[in-house]
Amino acid sequence: MHAILGQPKALSVLRSQLATGRVHHAQLFHGPAGVGKFTTALALAKTLLCHDPQTDNENTPLACGDCESCRLFNAPKPAAESGPAKKGKGKADRDDDGDDEDDDAGEASPDGGASAHPMSFSHPDLHIVVKELAAFSDDANVRKRKLTQIPVEIVREHLLAPAHHSAALGHGKVLIVDEAELLNAAGQNAILKTLEEPPPRTVFILVAAREDRLLPTIRSRCQRVAFGLLPEAEVEAMLLKKSPLLDAKKAKWLAIFSQGSPGRADLGLAYGLHEWGESILPPLRDIAARKARPEWGSLIATRIESFASEWVARHKNASKEAANRQGADLMLSMLSHFAARRLQESSRACDPADLGGGETRCAPWLRAIEAVREAETRLAQNANLALVCDGLSSAVHSACGV
């Protein structure tokens, strides 16, 4: 737990539970994507499953690292047990290269996460439920589904069934649901009774970036643990620590791009999204200076499509539609954040006595933010990506008087 950085409030809650021995049987780790929720869930699981926990100077139990449980926790699962070869059925198991959507080999998790794939742990009493398990289902219909939800069949097979089995090592069980907001209504209703009446020495950890998508009855049964965004300086320091050869200017840009999410910074580094700062933001500056850049909308759409294509190439059975949506979210978030920073700079430069001049200086950036919000709304309504990007470009040009 001491290796986790930047979440003092969340860690304080968990350390208090561990120190008193009153660990709630159902935890809900909620907060922005990429801030370490899944990493923390793994650290808590390792401590809970440890056979010989050691206490630190604050009387908080920590995993010893040497017992049978800790050794199994660190040992990778054999490839035959963790990959498509386990089932060997269905087109989804054969055609695509790549890995899961959360922890590609050699990449960091978008939640700042584990160094290993969520399905690669060999500990018999640690069960991790992710949407990618659908690709290995015995049910061909489940295997063929795109990875946009956690099917109820996976919930029954990989969460409810193990929860009611005896612990293999006789020391309890921990079950983690990553991206728990992807549980549909059937899946959430399926786990309600188990969350209310859990088996002895069984702890559930739901990890969610959007807790509002979970049923109120789910949230009410859980101990909520909030995670927050990190200061940009901390994200930049983390990047440089993990990648000492990373260019300092690029690290600075990625820290700004992250908006406080180390996972987003890692994603930007892994997919070369620093290039967006070189290809998308300069035209925006030109537009703000009243220089027309009619190609800006197509540039945005092309970069989103390129990201989505690379994502699908890297991730088995990934949905191109979901990848486009993720790329668009990243792009629009970057543009909104950039415009907000320019708005803040403009407002600081305003003369309080010159209200008209201040409005003239700030209005284009405020309208640009509104245009991005409108683009987000249109995409949420499944509007065509290229048309939305062209509409955004037109709206920003108009906002800046071009």
Report whether 259 contacts 229 (CB < 8 A): yes
In this structure, is residue 240 part of a structural domain? no
In this structure, is residue 264 part of a structural domain? no
**How many domains does the structure of the chain reveal?**
2
In this structure, is residue 52 part of a structural domain? yes
In this structure, is residue 315 part of a structural domain? yes
Same structural domain for residues 56 and 198?
A: yes
CA distances from 317 to 101, 141, 252, 257, 336 (A): 9, 13, 34, 28, 31
In this structure, is residue 235 part of a structural domain? no
Q: For 80-97, how does the pLDDT look when each residue is reduced to its tens digit (9 = 90+)?
A: 444 443 443 333 333 333
CA distance 220 to 47: 25
The runs of H, that is alpha helices, within 50-201 are 68-74, 79-82, 140-143, 152-155, 161-163, 185-196
Residue 176: closest CA among 367, 26, 329, 335: 26
Q: For 5-53, how does the pLDDT look when each residue is reduced to its tens digit (9 = 90+)?
A: 678 899 999 999 999 999 999 999 999 998 999 999 999 999 999 999 9
- What would the DSSP string read from start to end of 174-218? EEEETTGGGB-HHHHHHHHHHHHSPPTTEEEEEEES-GGGS-HHH
Same structural domain for residues 97 and 200?
A: yes
Which structural domain, as residue segments, surrounds residue 139?
A: 8-226
Calculate Rg over the CA atoms of the chain: 23
The pTM of the full predicted model, rounded to 2 decimals, is 0.77
Domain boundary, last residue among 194, 226, 258: 226
Same structural domain for residues 215 and 276?
A: no
Residue 28: closest CA among 261, 191, 204, 228: 204
Same structural domain for residues 295 and 362?
A: yes
Q: Residues in the chain with pLDDT < 50?
A: 79-117
Same structural domain for residues 219 and 296?
A: no
In this structure, is residue 188 part of a structural domain? yes
Can you give the pLDDT at residue 78? 56
CA distances from 238 to 7, 38, 266 (A): 14, 17, 10
Residue 152: closest CA among 126, 179, 105, 190: 190
Residues 6+ apart with CB under 8 A from 297: 386, 389, 390, 391, 392, 393, 394
Same structural domain for residues 294 and 394?
A: yes
CATH of residue 189's domain is 3.40.50.300
Same structural domain for residues 93 and 14?
A: yes
CA distance 217 to 351: 52
Can you give the pLDDT at residue 140? 74
In this structure, is residue 238 part of a structural domain? no
In this structure, is residue 236 part of a structural domain? no
Same structural domain for residues 28 and 171?
A: yes
Read off the tokens for 206: 């739901």
